[in-house]
Amino acid sequence: MAIEALLLDIDGVLTISWEPLPGAIEALERLRQRDIPIRLITNTTTKNRADLAATLRGAGFDVSDDEIVTAVVATAAHLRRAASDAKVFVLSDGDATEDLEDVRLVGVDDAEVIVLGGASDDFSYDTMNRIFRRLMEGARLVGMHRNLFWKTAGGWQLDAGAYLAGLEEATGVRATICGKPEEPFFSAALDALGVEAGRAAMVGDDVLNDVAGAKAVGLTGILVRTGKYRPGDETDRGVVADHVLASFAELPDLVVGGSR
């Protein structure tokens, strides 16, 4: 079936540490020339949506603010819907307050809902232990995403998914996840595009959160061998990508060849 629209991961697909990957800017330009609708769907929590768009434009990518769908925005929507009056503590690697407008933010010891975003040096033993205590006392647990790790220009980095798994195991509390790989996150992006899942593809470097999550909702799953990709991901993780590309730079040839 023709690929009529695209969901694109950012980190590891378009950029590494916000520097464009080889051929990525040109590939996005080629897709624009074919008038293929695009949404950038990201678990990145270091920047809000406006900052993300500005950073990408500064790096040379033609993107607008409204084309970006973030896990932080999805988390805010969940909190407003499911915990509108709750006291919420957020631990993340970026300042999420702008995207969490109207959410009642408090310190960890007063929280009724604990939200974990991207991991950082603030994920200290003291803070994690205080979170553990709140969960044992009945607080709810929310994760912006379940990413276990990512890759920067400086090397591999552990992410919040590892901490979520530990907290779930220790407390018996299951986290509600708002970003990838959860179905509502993909569906929100597809709704914005006005395209059915069967006519769209997700392009990512994470075979579990990007490819498996996308395929579970009916999207074509495209894995790129950049970013956090490791040799064997296309066969060893229990997920079969529909297409595997060396990089995002190869995507226009696949999409144009399959859609015309």
Q: Convert the pLDDT of each residue in 205-256 to its tens digit.
A: 999 999 999 999 999 999 999 999 999 998 877 889 999 999 999 999 999 7
Structure-model confidence comparison of residues 84 and 166, the more confident one: 166
What does the alpha-carbon distance between residue 193 and residue 36 come to, in Å, rounded to a whole number? 10
pLDDT class of 260 with cuts at 50, 70, 90: very low
What would the two tokens of residue 79 be? 């909190």
Answer positive or negative: Cα dihedral of 140, 146, 148, 151. negative
Instruction: Say if residues 130 and 79 touch (Cβ distance below 8 Å).
Output: no
* Pairing status of strand 176-177 against strand 113-116: unpaired
Instruction: Say if residues 23 and 248 touch (Cβ distance below 8 Å).
Output: yes
What does the alpha-carbon distance between residue 216 and residue 223 come to, in Å, rounded to a whole number? 15
pLDDT of 259 strictly over 50: no
The pTM of this model reads 0.84
